Amino acid sequence: MMKREANGIAESSRSKRPRRDRDGVGYSSDGPDAAMLSDDGGSDGEGSGRPKVPMAQDEVRQHGLHIWQTVVDAVNKEGRLMSPIFATKPLKKMYPDYYMVIKRPIALDDIEAKIKRGAYPTLEDVRQDFELMFDNAKLYNQKESVVWRDAKDLMKLVNKAYGKIIPSEGREKKSKPPSLTKMLKSRLTKVIGKTDEYGRFISSEFMELPSKKLWPVYYKMIQQPQCFNNILKKLKDKQYSSAAEFAEDVELIFSNAMQFNLENTQIWLDALAMRNMFRQLMADLPPPHSLPQYQGTGPKIKIKPQAAKAEPALPSLTLRVPASSAPKVPAPAPAPLPRPAAPRVTKPPSAKAPAPKPAPPPAASASPAPVAKPKPSSRPPAPSLPSQPAAVPSPLSHSVTPQLPSTANITAHVRAPPAPSPAPSQANVMPPPAVVPTPPPPPPPAPLLSQHQLKSVKVEVQPRGRVIYLHHTEGVKAWSLRMLPGETRLVLSDVVFLGNHDDDSDESSDEEEEEEEDEYEEGTEGSLARNGKKKAKSTPRRRGRPTRASTRQATNAKAQKKSSKPGEVQLKVNGLVIRAENEGEWDDNLRAATAAKALEELKLETPAAGEADDEDDAEEAGEANGAGEYRGEAKKKKKKKKPKKKSGPKQSDPPRVGLTKFFPSGQYPVGEECEYKDDNRYRTTSEEKRYLERITHEDPETTYNDIRKAAEAHRIVRQHAQKWIKPGMAMTDIANMIEDGTRALVEGDGLDAGVGFPTGLSLNHCAAHYTPNAGDTIVLQKGDVLKVDIGVHVNGRICDSAFTLNFEPTYDKLIEAVKAATETGVREAGIDMQLGELAGYIQETMESYEVEVGGKVFPVKPISNLSGHSINKYEIHGGKSVGLVKSNDPTKMEEGEYFAIETFGSTGRGKIIEAGECSHYARKVDAPHVPLRLTSAKSLLKTINKEFGTLPWCRRYLDRKGESKYLLALNHLVQQGIVQDYPPLCDEVGSMTAQFEHTILLRPTCKEIVSRGFDY
């Protein structure tokens, strides 16, 4: 399914006329002709209303091939060729819908052939075919995609080359003066779009003003608050009459942030970086809008031209006579250096008020540039606060950074206020500020509607039978679908809403605690004797009939608690309610006029669930307040309760309910999807990669559903384990609980039981490959550091993920370092990433941490002889290793591979050795065929092949299958090279180790972190 805009179909019916008025200005071209674009984003000479200049056939062929070669060789600013996608027409077998949308397909090879055989009478006909080809690409592909942008840039390049060959007709057009608003908006957009080295938009904290309710101190210190969204709105309304007004508002944002936040904090540094960039951009403003205070901030290029030597016109004879004394030539006076323009400062009304402290100059500036200062007021500014030794944490809520920094609801550009300074002496006390009346509190937000968030839905398009699964984990809130000719019906089924039991349970428990506290306060403080003393009993006595108000209050409380339950589900298409054919299934015959945008109008609603149960709630409230104790008729007139609707399946504790009960459609949640970087960024919108991904997913042998089901089981088991594991538990009980939960969720047996490898429960200095054998008596202690490594597989696709638990804060920094290193590896991993380079990123992150134990500081060391690994089907170690120390390994990650990004940190040597009793084993994938003489070894190998295949297993699994006295046979298989043993891997005794791990899938279009969960 390809997302396209709703106006794409309407655009195809328009005639081919000049498209300048239809091209947006939001995209700043990165093509080779980016320098020729003006500030308003337009391009010269684009359109089809050009004169057809008569030209000889040879000249048409020569100039046409020149334009064609210019397009073929065009590259963008990263050096990527933009023409390969336009070389040939798409294959009908792979893209059948392309030929339904595009009526006149054409490609570069077609244009070249027509040029060579002389099919174009004029050069304008050649240009029109180029325009047709690029218009086709822009119509079919999603707007702002890689192909769409390449088509736009190449068309501008064609017009530029054409304009150099064909002179403009008649007199030249009058040059239009550049628009001030567009120039200012383009510069502000570049500042807002500035990112740091990690891709974070540093302007996100400056988009909105801080909340007055949460940050009253900000508005006491900052007299003129300002934010980017306000400036964008003023630009949209064209409220700026000059560039100076615009620059003053933008500079005010930076000066406010640098005044309120401590120096060298993240917000302060972000404001400084954007201020420097803004001043450089403003230095390029053309006259008459240029500002003198920014003229010295841009980069300077000095050119010293050499004086040309005058040559005599005719040959002459020159006599050189030595002078008696050197002539005295007065030295030229040095030219005066340009002085920066004085900043414009408004004199404050009150002479006693001190001048506001100016913002510090930029760190990397050749000459200090003046800053446009805010207008001072009569109120003196707050005294400067002393700098704090540590950065103050941000008070903002941790929200996901939006794709575009200019969207709404972005957190404010403030940090937590610094601690109050000690009271100064009386001599240094500033005059108290005037009392400012507190503004009234903002109105409360509107109540939420009685709707539930949609989790997933199955959409079937008839009569072709196309099936599309929409899921909330894809990060999309609206889907658009192209209705092909003949498709007139939409069938919706398998509607699943986000479960509320987790959140509701916490909220309900909080409400119950608040109710108990209120009752207790009423009992202890609400009843006073006539003489003013409190009554002896803490609980008030309740006699007689309760008041109507209390009964109504209890009824409303019950209704509010039950309103979160989803009631009857309604489907609306274009405002009309569609009746369900069966329970949970809707079938809608769409009209031809509405079929194109029907999916955009689909709306699933859940009416208030409490409406149907109001009577039941009232009865329950009456019983709770004792309404039936004093009125006998109430019991007789009591209405019969309606049967409650059955709720969906709920997971048990510990988890033992299979996943198929929760996902009857067989489609499991998608992991976290991340775009590739740099040269692989095109994969996100590449139609070829999307098609390849769809074919891979539909193939039962390579489907992504297996790894996603394994990841879902892994998340449930590990999240329960994190809450359940406590000191004092036996290691055997912990391992059995985790593995029993895996078997129950996957619902398999034998090779399909779901256990990818034995649960690793390595303690303290032991880093990996420990799981308890039969008779193990080790008990988890409070001071232990426990590594929990869990593997779950479905049809051989293994989800490998690990975490570390500690129960004392001593080694929190060690765990934090290893977790951060894993996240670095996951972030940097991708197609074409060299494994040696990736290891360097992991090492750099981990070695930046230290651990203090008993007053002694230990550096966190990556364990150099442990590594992550690729994962193959039924093979946990796929052959490629992701080290933890930088190396020269040129091996690259490739498309379609699975990797376990696994990091280990230690406070010891940073190197492990094999130590302890072995528990992990696995049959080798390339095991040789060796004749076995021991009958017990043959029998044991038969059991291994049937139950485990090439997956790792442990001795407890053999005990579970009823095997006994197998140690001799097992050692024989190891000695013959058929089975590989994996002893525990340990650092030096007394050190501590930690481990974190994620499984990633390198899909053709994106990187999917399949094991990602809310826990880590």
Cα gap 976→999, rounded to integer Å: 33
765 is known to lie in a ligand binding site: no
Phi, psi angles (nearest 5°) of residue 767: -90, -35
C-alpha distance from residue 519 to each of 358, 522, 525, 618 (Å): 57, 5, 10, 21
495 contact partners, CB below 8 Å, separation of at least 6: 454, 456, 457, 569, 584, 604
Residues annotated catalytic, as ranges: 789, 800, 869, 877, 902, 997
Could you give the 3-state DSSP secondary structure of residue 582? strand
963 assigned binding-site residue? no
**Token pair belonging to 149:** 């942008």
Distance CA 235, CA 228 (A): 10
Instruction: List for the chain the helix, strand, coil content (%; round to 5).
Output: 35, 15, 50
Distance CA 578, CA 581 (A): 9
State how far the Cα of 1006 lies from the Cα of 693, in Å rounded to an integer: 10
Nearest in space to 149 (alpha carbons), one of 262, 291, 31, 39 = 31
Q: Is 789 annotated as a binding residue?
A: yes
- 3-class DSSP state of 624: helix
Flag whether 869 is marked binding: yes
In single-letter form, the type of residue at position 376 comes to P
Q: Measure the CA–CA gap between 85 and 347, rounded to whole angstroms.
A: 62
Q: Is 852 annotated as a binding residue?
A: no
Determine the Cα–Cα distance for residues 373 and 292; give it in Å rounded to an integer. Answer: 15
CA 864 – CA 993 distance, rounded (Å): 13
| Nearest-10 Cα torsion for 660, 663, 668, 669 | -130
For the chain, the farthest-separated pair of C-alpha atoms sits apart, in whole angstroms, at 141
What DSSP string runs through 114-130?
HHHTT--SSHHHHHHHH
Q: How many residues does the chain have?
A: 1016
- Identify the residue whose tokens are 């007394």: 990
DSSP 834: B
Q: What is the spatial distance between Cα 1012 and Cα 672, in angstroms, rounded to a whole number?
A: 6
Q: Where are the beta strands (DSSP E) in 53-192?
A: none
* Alpha-carbon span 201 to 199, nearest angstrom: 6
Long-range contacts of 837-844 (CB under 8 A, 24+ apart): 837/886, 838/882, 838/893, 839/867, 839/882, 839/883, 839/884, 839/885, 839/886, 839/887, 839/889, 840/885, 840/886, 840/887, 842/882, 842/883, 842/884, 842/903, 843/884, 843/885, 843/886, 844/886
What is the torsion angle, in degrees rounded to the nearest 10, for the CA atoms of residue 510, residue 515, residue 518 and residue 524?
Answer: -120
| DSSP class of 564 | T
The neighbouring-strand residues paired with 867 are 883
In the chain, count H helices and then E strands: 24, 26
Phi-psi region of 185 (alpha: psi -120 to 50; beta: other; left: phi over 0): alpha
Q: Is 752 annotated as a binding residue?
A: no
Query: Which two three-digit tokens encode residue 550?
Result: 């209390």
Cis peptide before 758 (omega within 30 of 0): no
Contacts of residue 990, Cβ cutoff 8 Å, sequence gap at least 6: 765, 908
929 is in an annotated binding site: no
Q: Which helix (H) or strand (E) covers residue 957, if one does? A: helix 955-960
Binding-site residue set? 769, 789, 800, 869, 877, 902, 997
Binding-site residue set for substrate? 769, 877
